[in-house]
Copies of this chain bind each other. A is one copy, B any other.
């Protein structure tokens, strides 16, 4: 695959490469280059099917017009959707997006970051994993344009685009209480990431206020042993009889789906034996017998905000840390 460069065009037209560059970048306006010359240059460029070499341009200009996106798992619909919107939106500003996965591993995260930085991305949108505080901190110190997504670190001065986890959680639990549930369980990740802690806090506060709190009803799930942990937790809850629990709040989409699957397998009748509320919508909800209430995150908006904030950082070359919190909606019909 032979490539055509600015030099080829220059030779063909009989002009210097500088002139070609100027014309092709639209910098021939202010009476610089002769109209006819510009015209032929453009014509020849089209003829030869010239496509500028971004590697060279990036090297010269010190920016690659590329954004690195780091999510936990692209095969999770939540992140796949996010990636989709980020990419579509970033493209409008002339940025390409490199999408990468960490699988919730902090060592994978720092490896990916090296690759992305080596590829001279102009900025990063990151869904940080647990234990990645130091890794992210390093980026902050390096002043890499950066926005955290979905999760963040309270002690790190970053830009982050997140949702109102606490309120979202409150409304979910309140919905169960309104539905006459008394023994409500919380299944969430057992991590020290604030988005999950906030969800737990929302649950705990509402339960306390209603005089229903019981610490034993809070179940922590490990990402890397999700299935057994969830089954164990549910077995626990249903140990003696179903009256031990009459409501469950699944605080994340993966936990929701595995949890529901196991409940069905146990023969538990959803919304009859036990009412449930989930975080995030799943396509599967449309095919279930009973309606599943869920917390809807504004995925497209989150993606767009992240891109907007990142690009403004890149442009301004300064970083004003800010938390951008978007609102969720409890979908109950």
Contact = CB atoms under 8 A, between A and B. Distances in A.
A261 to B, nearest CB: 6
A87 B101 contact: yes
A98 interface: yes
Contacts of A260: 287
Contacts of A132: none
Contact of A51 (B59, B64, B118): B118
B75 A80 contact: yes
Contacts of A88: 101
Contacts of A315: none
Nearest to A122: B1
Interface stretch (A10-18, A21-29, A278-286): A278-286
A114 B51 contact: yes
A289 B289 CA distance: 8
A284 to B, nearest CB: 4
Interface string A60-95: 000010100000011101001101100110000000
Interface string A140-157: 001111000000000000
A2 B133 CA distance: 21
A56 to B, nearest CB: 5
Contacts of A64: 55
Nearest to A138: B49
A298 to B, nearest CB: 16
A283 B282 contact: yes
Interface string A226-238: 0000000000000
A1 B100 CA distance: 22
Given A74-B80, A144-B1, A118 B54 contact: yes
Nearest to A59: B55
Contacts of A101: 84, 87-88
A65 to B, nearest CB: 9
A220 interface: no
A99 interface: yes
Contacts of A119: 54-55, 66, 96
Contact of A99 (B99, B261, B264): B99
Interface of A: 1, 51-56, 58-59, 64, 66, 73-75, 77, 80-81, 83-84, 87-88, 96-101, 114-115, 117-120, 142-145, 257, 260-261, 264, 282-284, 286-289
8 contacts: A1-B143, A1-B145, A66-B119, A74-B84, A83-B99, A84-B101, A260-B287, A287-B288
Given A54-B119, A74-B87, A75-B80, 19 more contacts: A1-B143, A53-B120, A54-B120, A55-B55, A55-B64, A73-B84, A74-B74, A74-B84, A74-B99, A75-B77, A83-B99, A84-B101, A87-B100, A87-B101, A96-B115, A96-B119, A283-B283, A283-B284, A284-B284
